[in-house]
Amino acid sequence: MSTPLYQLKAEFFKTLGHPARIRVLELLSEREHAVSEMLPEVGIEPAHLSQQLAVLRRANLVVSRKEGSTVYYSLTSPHVAELLRIARTILTGVLAGQAELLADLRSAQGETGRQRSD
């Protein structure tokens, strides 16, 4: 029996569920990067970055190539970069809605405070 699509999607999103992996994918959305270039940008220890890259490789989201002693990583598909852009658009909308709600709450709180002081 094959795995249901919704379960595969859940596993896919679990793979994306780590800040370091998201940051790596963001960097690789721009261009191919050497591991040494990613280290300061991701801000984790080399061994931890290596583990996160291995997770992304096993999920077939990134590929590596070696040039001399340098290992370069790139995305397997431009759709990964597109997914990150869409996620940013969704989050921007969510945060804008939350900011609007916060402004409404603060406005209501200000009106309540003025009524009490009258």
Q: What is the full per-residue pLDDT of the chain (118 aa) written as tens digits? A: 799 999 999 999 999 999 999 999 999 999 999 999 999 999 999 999 999 999 999 999 999 999 999 999 999 999 999 999 999 999 999 888 888 888 888 888 877 666 655 5
Q: CA-to-CA distance for 104 and 110, rounded, in angstroms?
A: 10
What's at 100, amino acid-wise?
A: E
Instruction: Give the global pTM.
Output: 0.81
Q: Of 76, 58, 78, which Cα lies nearest the Cα of 15?
A: 58
Q: Which CATH architecture has domain 1-76?
A: Orthogonal Bundle (1.10)
Segments making up each domain of the chain, as ranges:
1-76, 77-118
Q: CA-to-CA distance for 55 and 40, rounded, in angstroms?
A: 19
| Dihedral angle sign, alpha carbons of residues 73, 26, 11, 51 | positive
Q: How many CB atoms lie within 10 A of CB 62?
A: 24
